[in-house]
Amino acid sequence: MHVSTDGFVSIEHVKNTVNEAIANAYETRVQVFKSYVKPYTEMVEQLTMPENYQPPKFQQFNGYGDPRQHIAHFVETCNNAGIDEDLLVKQFVLSLKDTAFDWCIDLEANSIDSWDDLQNKFFNHFYSAR
């Protein structure tokens, strides 16, 4: 800090300090918003939904309750709509909300390459939290 001989800090120094703090806070916030990437691999990304597929209305899991029941409802709902197993990965986020949705969007990029993989991570996180 630049203090003059009479014990005062210059207005210019205060302005620079405030501007620097604002810039740092803004950069950090921007980096967080830019950091979301889909957690599944390119192989899953390349899978396409059946022609004329309409996403069903899912029961949404909020992170509380029985994760096994949620998976069972989700799989049955999707199977009734004619979705193959690994396509479940792309639809699963639609069945989540609140804490469970936060968990899903915080998964590492390219960390999910199959429905079994996603299911295991989901169970490990939410079943152990019960």
If asked whether residues 115 and 53 sit together in one domain, one would say: yes
Predicted confidence at residue 65, as pLDDT, reads 93
Q: What is the pLDDT of residues 76-122, one digit of tens each?
A: 998 877 677 889 999 999 999 999 999 999 999 999 999 999 999 99
Tell me the pTM: 0.69
Whether 115 and 85 have beta carbons less than 8 Å apart is answered as yes
Mean pLDDT of 61-72: 95
If asked whether residues 53 and 26 sit together in one domain, one would say: no
Whether 100 and 61 have beta carbons less than 8 Å apart is answered as yes
3-state secondary structure of 35: coil
- Give the Cα separation of 50 and 89 in Å (integer): 14
If asked whether residues 68 and 116 sit together in one domain, one would say: yes
If asked whether residues 31 and 54 sit together in one domain, one would say: no
Q: How many CB atoms lie under 10 A from the CB of residue 19?
A: 10
| Domain encompassing residue 51 | 42-126
Predicted confidence at residue 33, as pLDDT, reads 56
DSSP secondary structure, 62-125, as one string: -S-S-HHHHHHHHHHHHHHTT--GGGHHHHHGGGB-HHHHHHHHTSPTT-B-SHHHHHHHHHHH
Mean pLDDT of 36-64: 89
If asked whether residues 70 and 87 sit together in one domain, one would say: yes
